[in-house]
Structure 1
Amino acid sequence: SATKAAIDSKDLNTFHCAHFSCHGYFNYQEPRKSALILANAHKPTSAEPNPERYLRVSEEEVFDLKKCLTIDEVFGLQLEQCRLVTLSACETGLIYTNISDEYIGLPSGFLVAGSPAVVSSLWMVNDLSTALLMIKFYQNLREQMALAVALNQAQFWLRDSTQSQLLGWSRQLPLDNSLIKTIEQALDWFNPDEQPFQNPYYWAAFCVIGE
């Protein structure tokens, strides 16, 4: 699973692409504490909070920043050989702009760390539509499309695809039967000629930053 320990044990600079499929949180009060929320980062809300270590995002949710990947830590990574970082999570593309026109956000952190391109989102995203979008995005990249074109074409594809087209496409994917079943169950709510993800909420959140 995507734990902090697992990430710390890997040299991300040896990978062509780093894909983070997890929750993201943008901290408007302290942008440098914005983070990718990794596995095992939840802290019991009953425990006494330490604001330097813990991030409270709601009454029910508190995260241990030592088990997350914060912007401060991203700044310290070396990713010159990692050509693409994909942040398949909520609000990973939001930034903080101050009076000097500098900005702080997860995408800028990965760019500073050396990766030339980051794909991130601007609002909370739907799990299923994001999964389908990302699969199609990587399929497009394998066809030698440019990053921005690959993402744009994947977005239009998701927007325009009908339920029957999505079912037929998903059944051709090299996924476990349980995952295929999950997709089928989610799409069963729609008629064959309906476009389940036509609303921009499902496909327009992601953007390419960088090259």
Structure 2
Amino acid sequence: MPERDQRAGRHLRRGAIVLAALVVLAVVLIAAGTFDPQPLGPLWRTDRPGRHELPGAGETFIPQPAPWSPEETPQRFSVRLTAANAGGEPDSGYGLALGNGANGLFVAVSPLGYAAVWEAQRDGAAEYSRPWQVWPHVRPGQEANELWLDVAQTPRGAAITVRINRELFWQGEIATLPGQVGLWGQSFGGLVGIDFQTLEWFAAPDS
């Protein structure tokens, strides 16, 4: 009986060691970003657009030259913006736009913790896929937020995946494959500064 207890104890110790090793391995892999979502292809370029200001209520669209021509837009690409409120009006927003500013898809966050996705129509109307709403993964105040868009051509246009701070926020489809990308900002009150820190471009080779 004591010998059987000793064997059982050895098995338990081995099991505990294996379990501890698996936990350590999982922690290391998570810390290394192994399970993070991946962009649609390798990094092409990193831009640093810098700080922009709005003197009062209103919005701005800042076109960003892509590393490819509009006629040669890849069938699968990702754009990833890191930006932050740089002081001023907290009732404001900033984000990314696919299109020319007059029409296209817009993704934005607010220093107050809100996020939204909408399409701007040619008549100036906005059709919201996700109206402005509090979302727990938005970093408030002057903390930086990451907005990440995956774009993949489909027979009907383009499939879009939106992530905010690496968390899935929205998936849907738009009618055309956008060839232009821009930065967007808006103040709903007074002067606001927006620090567009980095804009990364990724693309997969067209087959």
TM range (shorter): under 0.3
Structure with the larger RCO, 1 or 2 (CA within 8 Å, 6+ apart):
2
Higher helix proportion: 1
- TM-score, normalised relative to structure 2: 0.24
